Every structure is written in C-alpha cells, then in structure tokens.
Structure 1
Amino acid sequence: MSNPFTMGHNLKRYLNLLWQSIVFWSVALACFAIIRYFGLEDEDGITVIDDIAGTKGFLKPLASFSAMGGVLGILYASIDFLFDKLISKRLSLGLMLVTKTFIEFVFTIAVLTLTATIVSKVFTFVDFNVEPGWWLREKMVWGLLFYLLISSLVFSIIKIAVQRFGRGVFLKMLRGAYSNPKEEERIFMFLDLKDSTTIAERLGHHKYSQFIQDCFFDLNEVVLKYEAEIYQYVGDEAVLSWSYKRGLFNSNCIEVFFAFEVKRASRNAHYLEKYGVFPEFKAGMHGGILMAAEVGFIRKELAYHGDVINTSARIQAECNKHNVNFLLSEKLLNDLGVKKSFSSKPIGDVLLKGKQKEIKIYSIAHYDQQIV
C-alpha cells in the first residue's frame, strides 16, 4: 500500500521540478527564436518574407518556439524525475547520462516533428516536408539540437549548484552576498549514526559505505519537505541547517528528525535483508547568531563560523550519555514554543565539552513516542 506522505512528497518534488523546467526551456527556446529570427529583415543580403518581417511577424516564430520549449520542459522534467526515483541508484553516472540523453533525444525529435507539422499547417511562411528522417536533412534542426545540448548543460550546472549550496544561497553567492562575512541567525542539527564503529566492523568497509549511502538517501527523501539544507556530510554524520525562521515554522527542525525515522522504518525489511542491521540515529540541535562567508579559491564553498555549530555538535555528543536519541538546547525549545506534536523532558544543566558555562538541554519525543 502506498504511503500518503511519500506520494505527497513525490508529487511536490515533481511539480517543483516541472515548473522550473517549463520556465527554463520556454525562455531558452524563446532566446533561440530571438537569435534566429529577430531583425533578419535589417541584415544586408537577406530577404525575409512578409510573414516574419517586423515585430509583429517575429511574434509567430517566438510563440512557436516558446510553446515547444514548454512541451520539452514537461518531457524533460518527467524523464529527470523518473530517472532520479527509479534508475539513478541502479546505473553508473556515465551510463545514466548516456541513457537519459538518448531518451531525451528521441523525445526531442518527436516534439520537433510535431511542431514542424503544426507550423507547416498553421503558418504559411514555412513548409516542412515531414516524413521519416526529415530532421536529418534540415540544417536548422541540427543547429537547434546543438543549442538544446548547450542549454541542457547550463540547466544541469544550475541544478547542481542549487543542490550544492541550497535554495536561495546560490543566488546570494552569485550576487556576492557572502564575499564578506555576513551575520545570520540559523539552526543547526548534527545527525549521527548510533553504534557506527560496531556496525562498520560487522559489515566491512565496502558494505558499510553502501549502508551509509542508503541511510543518507532516505534522509534526502525528507529534507526538502521540512525546508532543511544539508550543510555537510562527514563520514556517517550529516549536518542540517535552517534559517531561524524556516526552522521554527511548523517545527520543521523537529519534525524532520521524526520524518527521517518514519522513512527508515518503512524500509526496515530492506535494511535487515541487505545488511542484517537497522540504522538508528541520534541528533543534537541548537540555534543562534553566527557568521557565514565564502571560503576557498580552488574549491569555493559557503562556511559557517560560530559557537552555534560547536554547541550543536556537543549537544549531540550527550545523547549516548543520557541514552536518548534527540537533544536540543533550552533556548531553541523556548523559541519553538509548546507544540502538540512532540513532548520534551529536561535533562538538566550540563557542562558541554570545551565550555566553561553549563547549558540546559532537553530530550524530545514525538507525540506517539514516550520519553522514559
């Protein structure tokens, strides 16, 4: 039976990818029409028929290419989504790219054929002889295919950059927002695999790496719903981050932990069958003001500096000592307020490693769990 949460999450991911793809490819093909047709009548030695002469005539190819871009956007988004969900983990990166490129090429030719047929019937300024293999003889089609290839590379680079830096961060880095250190208020969660050393010795380094891959694949399935950014992967540990406002909204910074537990539990049979062990994670969380800045030159990335990160890591380290899975600071709990979806229990004042002043921490459990 399908999980409603998973279905809703997948639909949201698909719709998000869909609108981005439609907008990008509509704009990309509109740009191609501008490059190809706009101002042709003003070029020496080129004769342009009245249908596309002038601004009004130019709107016809502009509308045609923009509409074709929208159709391609739908197809490309659907192919990307299906590959990510069903095939990405089964094929090597190279084989996946070749397979996906071939499928996109076939659909592109189909869309070009459909567009050429419609344009030939609707507009008088073009008469394509659309028959099997027609696109092999059309030089303009090969020029368009080359343009689509370059545009696809640009789109892929943009997606990779957004995935690498997080939503909103990439645009800020483009305009140089972090060229100089910038003060921000953020929430950090350190998420670590319990009994990692024992599991690693039991599985061996190769199978253990696959085990970690599976765990973080499940984590990636839930982070977007709760607006979390994955700041770092460090071995068997993941560091999640939110702007303070996004983290507090709907208790995103709390709920993501329990959603991750539900996701792993839904694949309990998979973990036990493949690895003979089910992964349990512990988390520590804190929030406050810190500095954000671009660092590096050969490899540039966004780095956060401040006590918030150190405190979050130290709180997570207290989980084993108090035999709990989820701890957070009193400050963050107070800012979250009382929520019906989870309950809290005071651990007391603890002196975190490297600190000179004690801090109050609390354990957190979901409403259908019980803190003992």
Structure 2
Amino acid sequence: MRFFQNPKTVYYIKRILPFGIIWLVLSWFILLIESMATEYKNVRPETDITVTWDVFLFASLAVFVVGLAVGTLEVFWLGKLFKSKGFGQKILYKMGFYLLFMLAINLIAYPIAASIELKTSLWDSEVWQKFSNYSTSPTFLSTMASLAFSIFVSLLYSGISEHLGHDVLLNFFSGKYHRPKEESRIFMFLDMKSSTSLAEQLGHKQYFRFLRDYYNQLSNAIIKHNGEVYQYIGDEIVITWKQDKGLSRQNCVRCFYAMKDNLNKKSAFFIKTYGVIPSFRAGLHVGKVTTGEIGALKKEIFFTGDVLNVTARIQKLCKSLDQELLISGELKKLLEPSTPFGFESLGTMNLEGRKAQASLYAVKHFG
C-alpha cells in the first residue's frame, strides 16, 4: 500500500492511466460501429475474428495494456526525447514510431485471439492459415487504420495535457470547477534572486534556456511533495496545495528545501552552462480561495482570494528582511512541529497596500 501512497508514484499513475482508458473506450466504440455496419455478423470469417465473450475480454485487456504501454513510453521516454520539437512535429515523429510498435503488437495479438476463437492451440495450422489470410486482407489495413486513430487521439491528449497541465486538463474533463467552489489552499510564491541582472548578463535567448533548465530542476520536488504549479510568471513560480496535502508531513515547507537540494545537485551543470547557480526566496500563506473556470477566449482554472495577494507581499519582504523563506502566522499555527525545521517569530509587519498587519515567521532548516 505504501507504493500507492508515494506522491510521485500517484502522479505517474494519474498520467499513464488515461492512455489505457482512451484506448479501451476507442476500441469499444470502433467495435460497436463495425458490428452495427455488419449487423453483428462476421461477414469475413476467413480473416475476421468472431467476437465471443472470451475474445471480447481478451481484446479489451490487450487494448488496455497496450494503451498503458503507450502512456508509459510517452511519459518516460518519447515525451522527453521530442520535448524540444514543435507540437506538429512531435505527433508526426511519434506516429511513425508507434505505428511500427502497433504493427508488432497486432501481429502478436491476432494469432492469440484466433486460437481463442477457434478453441485450439496457438500452434494449430488452422490458426496460422487464418493469420496468413488476415495479414494480406483489407481487415488488416482497417485494423491498422483504427490503431493509427487511437494513437493520434492519445498523442493529442498527451500534447494538450503537457501544455495545459495534467491536473488542469482532468479538471476540465470532469467539470470539477465548472461551478466555482470555495477551497482552503496553501500558496507559495517563489522568486529567483538577482534575475534582472542575470537576464541582462545572459541575453534573452540564453536566459530563456536558463529558465527552462531552472524550472525543470524544480519539478521533481513539487511532484514529490504533492504540489501543483498554478502559474509561471517570468522568473517567478506560484505553487499551490490543497490545505490537507500541504500540511501533511509539512509538504509545503519541505518542498522549498527539496527544490534547493535539487538545484545544488545540478550546480556544476549551471556553472558550466550559465556561469551561475540559481537561487530563490519564497513566501507561504494559507487561506480561503474561490476556484473555478474563467476566460472567454481561453479557459483556465483560476483562484481568487486575498490569500494570493498576501502571499505575494510576504514573498517581497524576504529581500528586505534577508530571509530565504517566510511564512504567515496563520500557516505556522497549522503546521505540526517537526525536528528539521525551526520557526523564528519576526513579529507583526505591514504589508504593502494593506492596512492589516501580518505576523511573520522565518523558517530555519537544521538539516
């Protein structure tokens, strides 16, 4: 059970599982259309598999597993391999690879399905005669066309998910935030140090590559600590947690130091490539927000609430107070005491543009 409690494991399962579901649903839909067109009869028994319950269950399982295999390849290999390519190029290159992959799967799965239909051994000559007929028939071509369609739809899903964010896309599909709802959330505003001078030093093209590498190094820590990226704003990133997930094991605080560790591990790369190791400051706060879909020309999941304004202003105080991580008194009250962290009270302070003062704490990490 611990395996499924690991946030990183859950994250990858949530990314891969939709591929299996997409393939399974599409296969059922295509089967239904073909069955209706032939009035639920096998009009080409010499090449087509008669769909019995045994064949249907085997085919459903096989298609689902193939979908999971495509998802696994997409998430762990091909998605990274073609990351720098344009959206259209990605689909074109991946289609070529997956069609070859599906050809191999098709040629393996068909004899097994035929042996189930004929209720005989896989090595029976009748099975291989039917396979020979199938491999040179229009049925083979239509099967490959169906597989190509399934590949295209799953790659389309993958591309849209990558651009919008996996959780955002699932929320759109489920209609979770179609009606605005109130939530308790923790927000972290994280801002890179000395970004203006660094941008001037590197030039805009090199600085863009620097930001891309910088954000890539932060992603694993965010996933591991159940965070969600809400926005990238230039050199600033806004991370959010549902309150219970952010408080669990002090995820919201641990995430900050995990991101620091990840950057430190890549320090040699950043020094060699850009001549500098990126560092950052952050502010954390908790409060109520209204969450919902917003936008006319472009839809996105949007948070509104005073907690965002307060968090942004807490983060801005990090520089003047010479602190790398500040949290609000409201969040401090909710956090469980933990040995690795200490909290130093800085008293109550004015926040820019607000009348009410806020109590602030500096976080100390003892390793």
Per the TM superposition, whether the score is higher than 0.5 is yes
The equivalent residue for 2:264 is: 265
Q: Which residue of 2 aligns with 1:114?
A: 108
Once the 2 structures are TM-superposed, how far is the Cα of residue 90 of structure 1 from its aligned partner? 5.2
Provide, for residues 262-294 of structure 1, a one-character-per-residue CA deviation record: whole Å limited to 9, x for no partner: 111111111000000000011111110121232
Q: Which amino acid aligns with 2:81?
A: I
SS at the partner of 1:304?
A: strand
1:147 aligns with 2:151: no
User: C-alpha offsets along residues 45-85 of structure 1, whole Å, 9 cap, x if unaligned?
Assistant: 95979x987xxx63133123223313422431332134357
**In the alignment, what sits opposite 1:353?**
352
Partner-residue secondary structure (3-state), 2:269:
helix
- 1:337 counterpart residue number: 336
Question: Does the aligned pair in 2 maintain the 1:328–1:361 contact within 8 Å?
Answer: yes
**CA distance 1:87–1:326, shift in 2 (3 Å):** same
Counterpart secondary structure, 1:288: strand
For 1:318, the equivalent position in structure 2 comes to: 317
- CA positional deviation for 1:102: 1.6
What do the CA deviations read for 1:222-256 (whole angstroms, capped 9, x no partner)?
Answer: 22221211111111111111111111112111111
* d(CA) in 2 for partners of 1:366, 1:134: 66
Is residue 2:59 matched to residue 1:60? Answer: no
TM-score, with normalisation over the residues of structure 2? 0.84
Alignment of 1:299-318 (within 5 A): 299-318=298-317
Q: Aligned runs of 1:123-162 on 2, under 5 Å?
A: 123-124=117-118, 130=131, 135=135, 137-159=136-158
For residue 23 of structure 2, the aligned residue among 22, 25, 31 is 25
- Once the two structures are overlaid, the 10-residue window that deviates more, 74-83 or 211-220, is 74-83
SS in 1 for 2:118: coil
1:250 and 2:249 equivalent?
Answer: yes
Of 73, 91, 95, the match for 1:79 = 73
Distance 1:213 1:150, change over 3 A: same
In structure 2, the CA distance between the partners of 1:256 and 1:23, relative to structure 1 (3 Å rule), is: same
Contact 1:26 1:65 in 2 (8 A): no
CA-CA distance at 1:41 after TM superposition: 5.5
Counterparts of 2:11 and 2:304, CA distance in 1: 31
CA distance in structure 2 between the partners assigned to 1:81 and 1:48 by the alignment: 39
Q: Does the CA-based 8 Å contact 1:283-1:326 persist in structure 2?
A: yes
Residue 30 of structure 1: how far off its partner (Å): 4.0
Give the residue type in structure 1 aligned to 2:355: Q
Structure 2 gaps of 5+ residues are: 1-5, 120-126
**Is the 2:328–2:361 Cα contact (8 Å) retained in structure 1?**
yes
Residue 335 of structure 1: how far off its partner (Å):
0.7
Distance 1:364 1:66, change over 3 A: same
Query: C-alpha displacement at 1:32, in angstroms?
Result: 3.4
Correspondence for 1:4: none
Partner amino acid for 2:215?
Answer: F
SS of 1:65's equivalent? helix
Give, as a single letter, the amino acid of the residue that structure 1 aligns with 2:324. N
Deviation string, structure 1 residues 167-188 (Cα, Å, up to 9, x no partner): 6654554454434432221111
Gaps of 5+ in 1: 1-7
Distance in structure 1 (CA, Å) of the matches to 2:229 and 2:196: 23
Where relative contact order (Cα < 8 A, 6+ residues apart) is larger, the structure is 2
Structure 2 CA distance for aligned equivalents of residues 18 and 299 of structure 1 = 26
Is this contact kept in 2: 1:29–1:68, CA < 8 A? Answer: no
Most deviating of 162-171 and 248-257: 162-171
Change (3 A) 1:181 1:41: closer
Question: How many matched pairs?
Answer: 354
SS in structure 2 of the partner of residue 318 of structure 1: helix
Segment of structure 1 superposing worse, 69-78 or 288-297: 69-78
Call closer, same or farther: CA 1:188–1:157 in 2, change over 3 Å. farther
Alignment partner, residue 202 of structure 1: 201
1:104 Cα deviation from its structure 2 partner: 1.1
**Distance in 2 (alpha carbons) for counterparts of 1:59 and 1:31:** 16
Q: Is the 8 A contact 2:59 2:113 kept in 1?
A: no
Structure 2 match to 1:191: 190
Structure 2 SS opposite 1:355 = coil
Partners of 2:198 and 2:49 in 1: how far apart?
A: 69
Q: Structure 1 residues 176 and 134, CA, compared in 2 at 3 Å: closer, same or farther?
A: closer
Separation in 2, partners of 1:176, 1:121: 43
Q: 1:128 to 1:35 in 2, by over 3 A?
A: farther
Separation of aligned partners in 1, 2:174 and 2:61: 31
Distance 2:199 2:117 in 1: 66
Share of identical aligned residues, percent? 27
Q: Partners in 1 of 2:364 and 2:12 — Cα distance?
A: 31
